[in-house]
Amino acid sequence: MKKKVVVSDKMQQEYVYYRTEPAGKSFAPDFKAELTPKKMLELGIFGGRYMRDCRDEFPEDWFENAEFHPQGEPGHSPELNYFGVDASQPLSVWRKKGWIYEEDPRGWFQWYCRYFMGRRIEQEDKRQIGRWRAFKRHKGAVEKNCAPEDMSCRKKQRQALLHWAYDSRKI
State the average pLDDT over residues 91-95.
82
Residue 152 reports pLDDT greater than 90: yes
Query: Coil, strand, or helix at residue 38?
Result: helix
In a domain, residue 28? The reply is: yes
* Residue 37: pLDDT band with limits 50, 70, 90: very high
Domain tally for the chain?
1
In a domain, residue 145? The reply is: no
Q: Are 133 and 30 in contact (CB under 8 A)?
A: yes
Residue 91 reports pLDDT greater than 90: no
Q: Are 104 and 111 in contact (CB under 8 A)?
A: yes
- Residue 141 to residue 156: CA distance in whole angstroms: 12
Q: Give me the phi and psi of 70, to 5 degrees please.
A: -55, 135
In a domain, residue 110? The reply is: yes
* Residue 50: pLDDT band with limits 50, 70, 90: confident
In a domain, residue 98? The reply is: yes
Q: Which pLDDT value is given to residue 93?
A: 85
In a domain, residue 165? The reply is: no
Q: Which pLDDT value is given to residue 98?
A: 83
- Residue 49 to residue 80: CA distance in whole angstroms: 10
Residue 1 reports pLDDT greater than 80: no
Q: Poorest-confidence range of 11-15, 34-38, 53-57, 164-168?
A: 53-57
In a domain, residue 154? The reply is: no
Domain that holds residue 102: 3-135
In a domain, residue 40? The reply is: yes
In a domain, residue 148? The reply is: no
Q: Which pLDDT value is given to residue 70?
A: 85
Residue 107 reports pLDDT greater than 80: yes
State the average pLDDT over residues 115-132.
97
